[in-house]
């Protein structure tokens, strides 16, 4: 019999296997452990807040994609979470890497990633970013505007492979901030109005550019695989029309990522097996209908690989109950290390990580340290009623768009990122210090302390 069975109140730990890293368990003291390491030890060594990443979970999710989609090229979306170590994991697992800034490209190169396996994205790439990517020899540049076509044509010294980003006109029905497949948004060229076809003509007119395919992305947190089926049908129809108009048969189709993961119990998740079935059927049907040769398919998961591999540790600083109102549990981090609640109204799962308690649960709101009423970690969640200052809280599913979106708001340094595996910790990114922050201030004559 397990500890959880002996002590049912360990349900406070909230260890839903769909939300937490795959190696998560409780030890005999009721402490949450990941990668064989008690999180209390991580907090003691690296302080809080700290991002913790389960290497085994991260790699396992990659392998699930490879197993479910053996004929598909899988490219990791680096914007979700990227360091040089993570870039090496990606390369070791045989994935490509997509980047969308000069900094992400530099990280990939510092990690020794083969440039041929890199895709450069972005709706407003700078001339320097385009020039550097072409000079390095990245495998594909996704063209997102007419100006990029003209600039690349005038700058590249060797023939550069490009994809054209197309808006497929598929609405996922989500938050406007994460819906990218509809016409009225900043990415790509619409099918409507011949914008995409005009861009194809522009590229084909440039002998130094090699158009090998189309790219699209319909949005984030997409749980319904049939939306990808609709996307494939529209993209294949466009590729067939391009063949008819220009006599060019494009061999590559990249349908992006955006695969949904759950953040709280009951959230929908993209079923990989069903996704594989839908894209196979859709490709077969669309290519047969258009008498078009089947293109090589690429997908770009990011969040679906990194999100659940990561958690964030916080130390409780204060507990405050307002008369007739909420109980607020204030922690030592907040919107500077997780802006998604303020940006999207995102919801999270929180657990007491440092001890077992038999105390009944209470509904609380976990808030951050920043001077904003909207600085919230998780609203109306269940924690033990005896939660108190000094306790350690763990927030699940923070491996994607937390480290990568963190800021130094209120001059609070960004947290470290620590990988755990086989009972050991490894710091991937150190904590940002006050000295780091002041070092950018050109009028600081010297730091006020050593």
Tell which residue, 300, 279, 118, 147, has the closest CA to residue 217.
Answer: 300
The Cα–Cα gap between 163 and 85 comes to: 28
Rg (CA), the chain: 24
422 annotated to a ligand binding site: no
According to DSSP, residue 119 is labeled E
303 annotated to a ligand binding site: yes
Angle, helices 55-68/84-92, rounded to nearest 10 degrees: 40
Sheet with 37-38, edge to edge strand ranges: 25-26, 32-34, 37-38
Tell which residue, 272, 258, 43, has the closest CA to residue 170.
Answer: 258
- Asked if 296 and 252 count as a contact pair (C-beta separation under 8 A), the reply is yes
129 annotated to a ligand binding site: no
- Asked if 234 and 171 count as a contact pair (C-beta separation under 8 A), the reply is no
15's tokens:
């260890």
* SS3 category, 39: helix
372 annotated to a ligand binding site: yes
228 annotated to a ligand binding site: no
- For 373, counting Cβ atoms within 10 Å of its Cβ (0-12 exposed, 13-18 middle, 19+ buried), the class is exposed
The Cα–Cα gap between 61 and 70 comes to: 14
> Please, what sign has the CA dihedral across residues 311, 316, 318, 323?
positive
401 annotated to a ligand binding site: yes
* SS3 category, 141: strand
Active site residue 371: yes
CA 270 to chain centre: 15
258 annotated to a ligand binding site: yes
Q: Which residues face 118 on adjacent strands?
A: 97
The Cα–Cα gap between 16 and 26 comes to: 12
436's tokens:
């780091």
- Cα 416-109-213 angle, rounded to 5 deg: 115
Q: Which of left, alpha, beta for 411 (phi over 0: left; psi -120 to 50: alpha)?
A: left
Angle, helices 146-155/195-204, rounded to nearest 10 degrees: 10
303's tokens:
């969040």
Contacts of 70 (CB under 8 A, 6+ apart): none
300 annotated to a ligand binding site: yes
Angle, helices 272-290/55-68, rounded to nearest 10 degrees: 30
- Asked if 272 and 64 count as a contact pair (C-beta separation under 8 A), the reply is yes
Catalytic residue among 208, 287, 371, 397: 371
The Cα–Cα gap between 373 and 366 comes to: 12
Catalytic residues: 371
Residue ranges of the binding site for substrate = 303, 340, 344, 372, 401
Residue ranges of the binding site for pyridoxal 5'-phosphate = 258, 300-303, 401
Residue ranges of the binding site = 258, 300-303, 340, 344, 372, 401
């Amino acid at each position: 019999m397990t500890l959880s069975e002996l002590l049912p109140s360990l349900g406070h730990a909230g260890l839903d296997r769909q939300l937490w890293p795959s190696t998560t368990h409780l030890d005999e003291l009721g402490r949450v452990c990941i990668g064989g390491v008690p999180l209390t030890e991580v907090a003691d060594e690296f302080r809080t807040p700290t991002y913790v990443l389960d290497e085994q979970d991260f790699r396992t999710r990659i392998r699930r994609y490879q197993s479910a989609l053996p004929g598909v090229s899988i490219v990791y979306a680096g914007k979700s979470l990227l360091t040089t170590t993570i870039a090496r994991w990606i390369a070791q697992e045989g994935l490509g890497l997509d980047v969308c800034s000069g900094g992400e490209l530099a990280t990939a190169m510092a990690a020794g990633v083969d440039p041929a396996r890199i895709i450069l994205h972005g709706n407003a790439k700078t001339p320097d970013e385009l020039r550097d990517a072409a000079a390095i020899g990245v495998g594909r540049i996704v063209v997102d505007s007419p100006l990029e076509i003209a600039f690349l044509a005038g700058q590249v010294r060797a023939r550069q492979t490009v994809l054209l980003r197309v808006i497929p006109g598929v609405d996922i029905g989500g938050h406007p901030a994460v819906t990218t497949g509809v016409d009225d948004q900043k990415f790509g060229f619409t099918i409507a109005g011949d914008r995409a076809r005009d861009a194809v003509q522009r590229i084909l007119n440039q002998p130094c550019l090699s158009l090998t395919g189309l790219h699209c992305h319909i949005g984030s947190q997409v749980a319904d695989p049939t939306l990808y089926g609709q996307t494939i049908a529209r993209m294949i129809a466009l590729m067939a029309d391009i063949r008819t108009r220009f006599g060019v048969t494009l061999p590559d189709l990249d349908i992006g990522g955006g695969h949904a993961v759950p953040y709280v119990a009951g959230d929908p998740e993209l079923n990989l097996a069903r996704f594989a079935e839908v894209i196979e059927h859709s490709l077969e049907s669309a290519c047969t209908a258009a008498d078009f040769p089947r293109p090589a398919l690429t997908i770009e998961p990011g969040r679906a690989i990194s999100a659940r591999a990561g958690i964030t540790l916080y130390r409780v600083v204060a507990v405050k109950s307002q008369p007739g109102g909420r109980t607020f549990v204030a922690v030592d981090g907040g919107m500077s290390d997780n802006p998604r609640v303020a940006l999207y109204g995102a919801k999270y799962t929180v657990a007491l990580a440092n001890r077992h308690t038999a105390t009944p649960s209470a509904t609380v709101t976990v808030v951050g340290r920043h001077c904003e009423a909207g600085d919230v970690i998780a609203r109306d969640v269940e924690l033990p009623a005896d939660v108190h200052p000094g306790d350690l809280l763990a927030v699940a599913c923070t491996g994607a768009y937390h480290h990568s979106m963190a800021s130094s708001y209120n001059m609070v340094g960004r947290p470290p990122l620590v990988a755990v595996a086989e009972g050991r910790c490894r710091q991937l990114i150190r904590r940002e210090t006050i000295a780091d922050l002041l070092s950018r201030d050109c009028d600081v004559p010297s730091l006020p302390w050593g």
